[in-house]
Structures are given as C-alpha cells and as structure tokens.
Amino acid sequence: MFKGLDKFVNATDFRKVSKWYIIVSLCLVIGTLAWGGYIFKDKIALTMNYHNIEEQAEKQGIDKSIQEQLGNLANSSADIKDVLLLDKDNNIIYSAKNSGLGKDNKLVLTKVNDKRQFFQDVNIPDTYFKVIGPRNVLLTKDVYRDSKDIKKEFDNDFFYDSNYNTQKIYFLNYFADRKNGMKVFIVNDLKPIPYAKVFIGFSAALLMLLFGLYWILVALWVYKDANRRKLNAPLWGLLILITNIVGLIVYTIYKQNNQTCYKCESLQNKHNTFCSYCGTRINKSCEKCGTIVTKNDTFCVHCGAKLDH
C-alpha cells in the first residue's frame, strides 16, 4: 500500500531538499517584500513624511513651516482629499487643496451617537469622518478592510444601513497644538493602489504554499526516518501530518529513549543486548555481575564496576 511512497521518500535526499527549500523560500520572500515595497512606495513615503511633520509640530507647534510641509504632503498623494488647518474656534484657516470641505469656512466635528471613531459636522449631514490612528496612514483601500467592512461596523452598531450608499466616508488623521488650540485635519479618501490586490493575494498564497510544503516535508522526512528505524512509519508519518512540530518533538524524545542498531539502523530498546532485527550485538554486559550495560555507560548500573569499552 505504501510502496509508491516508500520509493518516493527513499529517492528523496531530504538534506538537499530542505537546503533548497530554505534558499528558494528566502528568495521568494525577499522578492515579494521588494515587490510590496515598490507597489506601496508612495504610501510608505506618505507615512514617513506624515510622522515627520507630526513630530516637528509636537516640538515647535503648528507654524508657517509646518503649514508649508502639510501643503507638500497633501499634493504628494492622490489619497489625500485635503489637509485643513483649524484655529481653536474651528475656523478653517488653511486648506491645502481647496476641497471645499466644511461650511461657512468652518468644520465642527462631533462624535456621532457614541459610535466609536465616527465624527460628523451637523452642517454636512451626508459626510462622515472615521478617525484612524496615526499609524494607519499607510492604509489603502486594498489593505483597509474596504468600505464594505466600514459598513459592517455601522451595521453592528445598528446604524445608518439604509442610506449607507448615499453617504460619504472620509478617513481622518488629526493632531493638535495644545498651546494655541490649532488642529490639523488630514482628510483621506482612500483609493485602491494598482496591483495591491494582486500583491496581497499573491503573498497570502505564497505563504500558504511555503507553509504547506514545510508541513508535508516534515511528515515525509519522519516517515522515511521511521521506515529506516523499522518503526511503524505510516503511523508516525500520520502523527506528524496531523500534529507537525508536537509530533516531531515526541518522535525525537522517543528516539532518544531508545538506541539505533549501528548495523541495520533499526530502533532498539536501550537495554537490548542483541538487535531484535538483525541479531547484531549492540550492548555489552558487565563483566563482574552480568547486568546489561549500554555503550554510553561508564559504570555498571548494578554493581558500579568500571566498564571498559
């Protein structure tokens, strides 16, 4: 029944296979990371610039130079709908892209019905702002659980399901100058990135493939090894196939608690004098009392006599 499998594993050099597995996986993972870096390069640059500006604003407050940098940031990314600078009374004193957000040059955001992170200006009822953390500037429509998931979050909160499609949702990053109450609103309208979906699908498939291959390789190696040791190879192979690393540990401990016949490689009880499979003498007995000793013993376990091997 396992003849084909036996033939296959015996013809396989697992040392070579695992070496190539590691080399090829590393190349694929590095290549994929580089590809991802290329696809998301604009987003990565945006994230880094954003953090830079936020850090500076933290130190020196929101001033002209910060405003200038925010303008550059807004123009560097199509995802950014606008960057707004508001004074302490919520008057818009600067709009990087003149998007016309806000009414009467004001944007007063208040929390929507205790909904987590959703904000709204009462004067623009068809627009919602979902606040995202500073670390989430990297989000794209492809990575962010896209608008369907935002809808789900609304649904979970029994909120606005019926007119979801008529509403506009922007993502909002903000930071403030505590001294003068000025606020910076970075309004994102996340757009899909070309090839990002392909990339995410490909990386997930690659990871699964590599992981699956590793899983099967380990099981096949144990099957081959157990076969050589004249153990129940299908049983051990199946155990590894189900439990992987756990089974591998059990198998290693099991092997360590026994000994391998140097002639036929079968696994033998530590205290056997002769190999049960080929009859080779694998252990000695103490010359003084006759107790069976293993080749690793220096002293007889029964009488304590020094053994010479």
139 is a contact residue toward Zn ion (CB under 5 A): no
CB of residue 290 vs Zn ion: minimum separation in angstroms?
7
CB of residue 262 vs Zn ion: minimum separation in angstroms?
8
Among 29, 207, 264, 307, binds Zn ion (CB under 5 A): 264
288 is a contact residue toward Zn ion (CB under 5 A): yes
Among 73, 84, 96, 286, binds Zn ion (CB under 5 A): 286
Number of helices and strands in the chain (H, E): 8, 11
302 is a contact residue toward Zn ion (CB under 5 A): yes
For 230, 255, 256, the CA distances from 283, given in Å and listed in that order, are 19, 17, 16
CB of residue 218 vs Zn ion: minimum separation in angstroms?
26
In contact, 82 and 174? CB cutoff 8 Å:
no
271 is a contact residue toward Zn ion (CB under 5 A): no
80 is a contact residue toward Zn ion (CB under 5 A): no
Among 102, 120, 275, 283, binds Zn ion (CB under 5 A): 275
DSSP secondary structure, 178-247, as one string: TTTTEEEEEEE---PPTTHHHHHHHHHHHHHHHHHHHHHHHHHHHHHHHHHTTS-HHHHHHHHHHHTHHH
At 58, is the secondary structure helix, strand, or coil?
A: helix
**Could you tell me which residues are beta bridge partners of residue 103?**
106
274 is a contact residue toward Zn ion (CB under 5 A): no
Binders of Zn ion among residues 244 to 263 (CB under 5 A) are: 261, 263
Q: Which residues bind Zn ion (CB under 5 A)?
A: 261, 263-264, 266, 275, 277-278, 280, 286, 288-289, 291, 300, 302-303, 305
